[in-house]
Structure 1
């Protein structure tokens, strides 16, 4: 825990100053040692400004939060999705020394020229153009000198704050500490450019073959592994402009060209989502280039996601259920992916989802935002004590960014129209796989094993039944409370019977032949019955029943 007297580190003092200046009272309280209460998040613009002022690591953290529509409302997601680190490029002299120091071989052996002035700068690295000795143009991505020190300082602080928040109801419900650890691992991996290079290579290989689009129309830069290290990544140079900055004027049919590019974009990403399960998680406008030769290029594979086959199948059905406005099926599918954090009211979940789908029932398919509908579904499920895994947040972010770029580039795009032709093929692949014969053989083998094991298991079950050694272990939620209620009711009934017996006994004694002894016994019965009856009445009133 931090306190103002113990803050000696200049970085922590800088963070405190930024938080004070922007008036975020909750975080200020945490930093000065106040007891953590339920989080109070500042307005979206204030939160974005705080992240920008705190520097590259917190910008990255804000970008990660933008992938979690289950945690934040659409206004925050929208604001943080456009979060970019405004950091100046490292000067040419420092970068030249850094490249020479970290190059696997002397620079002159491989390069005829390197432009040490950056053409683009980001929070973790900056990009330089260079030419190999064979005349091939390449791009060198260089890790910012000294960035790893600041990363470790900021990660330690984020983990400390997450640890404090973890004791709150919000922290437990949304797994704040797990989110911080996930971010820490992802950021440390991003510092190692060989990881990004491997992601780039994998995406390039995955998209090299597809019957949904022509792979020759789509580029992912080739990695030059012999010139790549954890601090330097060298890849082929792709000449072009960001897609939204490209102009198609002068082409024979601009509208048809825009339609073709939009279709290519959707098919390339849905191939990643539902065929490969490995996808580029940050397709913002700066990462999709329109090359001078008319091809598209996907750049910057620093943020990727993975979807296992079971999740891909569930998401495919969920897309169909959303379009079909099937609230019951949506609820069932959500429960297959999300994990409960507390008791879940399934009736309320289904009712909330039904209201959501009814909201989109009258929206035309041309104007339907599938990303908006899916994000709203994520938030509804989260509000009902269910937690989505992190890869679903990355999927939602990727779909939202993809749809946003497509609508900016081609306002006439119909998302459902683009996706619908692919759904039949997706279902067919998920049912039969890429190799139906192999699937048939595997299914036959599983049935064979089942046929061999079933008689043995059935005989074992019959043996347990006949020898009376079979025990069933049932765990019914809330059964203990129900048992206690039944026991309490039974005890009160017994107690009431005893009181009634005492009263009847006293009445019988009082109506018979009176003797001093019987008179005293009758009065004792009445007194005891009155006291016990009063005690029973007080107990019932106190318990509320």
Structure 2
């Protein structure tokens, strides 16, 4: 429990930031006051609080920006812009860390290192260097001392999550699991060998494709012999962020057409590369913002910074493919059914209400052409509807939506004439073929043939056993009806109260009969005792009904 009198210097710093920015709910929570219902500050205030608290809380905000199933769209937009405003660490400190991480002396490994950081983030900064063999590389170096700050901040965040978990909001959205997910993600980000393995896997996956030319998409190669938990050495790719790309201008009067063709080709390449990641590989780069998509000098496109990745299992891939078709058809009923198939909620959901919400949401797109529909915005609205209906979706749905939103946003800025459906159409047939037959049709056919053979051999024996049990009257059915236990308890309570009421009424009637015919003092005493017991039991029954809150 947090308090103003007992806390660490870090907790006092958090309190000061919260007080300074005027977040009343968090102030009450940190000081141990009553704070039942979570109240978020305005999006900009929340972003400022997280920025002032430092790198770990910036990462927390970036994680929350991938969870539109938890937060409204304005918060997602504000947190998506969250960047750690931290200056680069001095080269003298970076050099000390480099010498500790390298197996050989620094001078024997690199011919040259630029002491000026190319980029600086909350966890690491990047320097350009040249190996002894002349190869240009990028050095991603962990900020010195960050590994000591992170565990303390993670412990504080878990404590806050434990407090919030006692509220209805915390139980509905399982904030303890969310804090644990964040802790695991941050600890994984501190281990650069994991990011290096993600980069390698993405590079392998994109090295072959039926949908695009793999030589036109680049993922930097990893130098594993130099990579450690705090240092990642990778291939240097010369280029610019894709939105700053400059295209050659021809002098034959076809300038605009040439540029349009190039932009269209690059847009198609990006969509197909990411659709393969999402719907075929099930392993995708989850943060394709403009800074992570580079247009190289030789005309190829590169994907950088693979620290945030997502995974989709085959069942989820199939549901999401059908969801795309349902959105194109503006089919509210199918959208609701598919959302429930993705759901992790254990509580009952009112399907008709969910369908009505989808119908109202999709109705505003009825008179729009496909080119005017923003599909990533629709996916965000779907997650918002799920949140409002208390449908708990897997966390990878947030990464999936964020990936689509970033990709579509970059594509529409880079090529305003892009039409997502035109990019999807040529791939749909292949997607459904893969879902029906798998990546290896012969293997799928043989496995199905074996299943049919096994079924044909087992069916006669199982039919014989079924008929034998039916004729011998030994067949028993085990039927489990959902939510039957609460109904059974309710019926038991009602039956008990009815029996109790009959007993009280019988006592009153018996007492009345005895009182009418009483000729001795003993009978009058018995009558009074019965009246007293009946009155006490009746009063106790009324009080118990009132306390239960189910009088009506």
- For residues 8 and 541 of structure 2, the distance between their equivalents in structure 1, rounded to whole angstroms, comes to 60
- For residues 518 and 274 of structure 2, the distance between their equivalents in structure 1, rounded to whole angstroms, comes to 100
Is 1:470 equivalent to 2:476 in the alignment? Answer: yes
Q: Is the 8 A contact 2:69 2:398 kept in 1?
A: yes
Q: Is the 8 A contact 2:505 2:534 kept in 1?
A: no
Shift of 1:12: 2.0
Alignment CA distance shift 1:413-1:463 (3 Å): same
Alignment CA distance shift 1:536-1:84 (3 Å): same
Within 5 A, what are the aligned runs for 1:357-506? 357-465=362-470, 466-468=472-474, 470-477=476-483, 478-480=486-488, 483-484=491-492, 487=495
| Between 336-345 and 41-50, the greater mean CA deviation after superposition | 336-345
Shift of 1:279: 0.1
- For residues 463 and 387 of structure 2, the distance between their equivalents in structure 1, rounded to whole angstroms, comes to 42
- For residues 453 and 337 of structure 2, the distance between their equivalents in structure 1, rounded to whole angstroms, comes to 31
Structure 1 gaps, min length 5? none
Alignment CA distance shift 1:32-1:248 (3 Å): same
> What do the CA deviations read for 1:66-100 (whole angstroms, capped 9, x no partner)?
11111111101111111111110011111112111
Could you say which residue in structure 2 is the equivalent of 1:196?
A: 195
Q: Is the 8 A contact 1:15 1:54 kept in 2?
A: yes
> What do the CA deviations read for 1:132-185 (whole angstroms, capped 9, x no partner)?
111111111101111011111111111110011011110111111101100100
TM-score of the aligned structures, taking structure 1 as reference length? 0.90
2:341 partner SS: helix
Q: Is the 8 A contact 2:501 2:538 kept in 1?
A: no
- For residues 460 and 42 of structure 1, the distance between their equivalents in structure 2, rounded to whole angstroms, comes to 65
| Between 145-154 and 31-40, the greater mean CA deviation after superposition | 31-40
- For residues 467 and 84 of structure 2, the distance between their equivalents in structure 1, rounded to whole angstroms, comes to 68
- For residues 325 and 496 of structure 1, the distance between their equivalents in structure 2, rounded to whole angstroms, comes to 61
Is 1:78 equivalent to 2:86 in the alignment? Answer: no
Q: Is the 8 A contact 1:289 1:298 kept in 2?
A: yes
Could you say which residue in structure 2 is the equivalent of 1:5?
A: 5
- For residues 497 and 365 of structure 2, the distance between their equivalents in structure 1, rounded to whole angstroms, comes to 50
Structure 2 gaps, min length 5? none
Shift of 1:458: 3.7
Equivalent pairs counted in the alignment come to 534
Shift of 1:495: 7.9
Q: Is the 8 A contact 1:36 1:164 kept in 2?
A: no
Shift of 1:116: 2.1
Shift of 1:342: 2.9
Shift of 1:455: 3.5
Could you say which residue in structure 2 is the equivalent of 1:170?
A: 169
1:235 partner SS: strand
- For residues 151 and 518 of structure 2, the distance between their equivalents in structure 1, rounded to whole angstroms, comes to 92
| Between 226-235 and 347-356, the greater mean CA deviation after superposition | 347-356
- For residues 386 and 39 of structure 1, the distance between their equivalents in structure 2, rounded to whole angstroms, comes to 19
Shift of 1:117: 1.8
- For residues 176 and 134 of structure 1, the distance between their equivalents in structure 2, rounded to whole angstroms, comes to 50
Could you say which residue in structure 2 is the equivalent of 1:124?
A: 123
TM-score of the aligned structures, taking structure 2 as reference length? 0.89
Shift of 1:493: 10
> What do the CA deviations read for 1:474-504 (whole angstroms, capped 9, x no partner)?
23414325634763797599789989x99xx
Shift of 1:226: 0.8
- For residues 32 and 538 of structure 2, the distance between their equivalents in structure 1, rounded to whole angstroms, comes to 50
Within 5 A, what are the aligned runs for 1:278-427? 278-427=283-432
- For residues 474 and 341 of structure 1, the distance between their equivalents in structure 2, rounded to whole angstroms, comes to 16
Is 1:226 equivalent to 2:225 in the alignment? Answer: yes
| Between 327-336 and 120-129, the greater mean CA deviation after superposition | 327-336
Shift of 1:341: 4.5
Within 5 A, what are the aligned runs for 1:174-189? 174-189=173-188
| Between 436-445 and 342-351, the greater mean CA deviation after superposition | 342-351
Could you say which residue in structure 1 is the equivalent of 2:56?
A: 57
- For residues 435 and 398 of structure 2, the distance between their equivalents in structure 1, rounded to whole angstroms, comes to 22
- For residues 343 and 468 of structure 2, the distance between their equivalents in structure 1, rounded to whole angstroms, comes to 39
1:339 partner SS: coil
Could you say which residue in structure 1 is the equivalent of 2:16?
A: 17
1:225 partner SS: coil
- For residues 71 and 368 of structure 2, the distance between their equivalents in structure 1, rounded to whole angstroms, comes to 25
Q: Is the 8 A contact 1:341 1:385 kept in 2?
A: no
Could you say which residue in structure 2 is the equivalent of 1:262?
A: 267
2:56 partner SS: helix
- For residues 433 and 286 of structure 1, the distance between their equivalents in structure 2, rounded to whole angstroms, comes to 35
Alpha carbon RMSD of aligned pairs, Å?
3.1
Could you say which residue in structure 1 is the equivalent of 2:109?
A: 110
- For residues 534 and 11 of structure 2, the distance between their equivalents in structure 1, rounded to whole angstroms, comes to 67
1:84 partner SS: coil
- For residues 145 and 44 of structure 2, the distance between their equivalents in structure 1, rounded to whole angstroms, comes to 29
- For residues 538 and 12 of structure 1, the distance between their equivalents in structure 2, rounded to whole angstroms, comes to 51
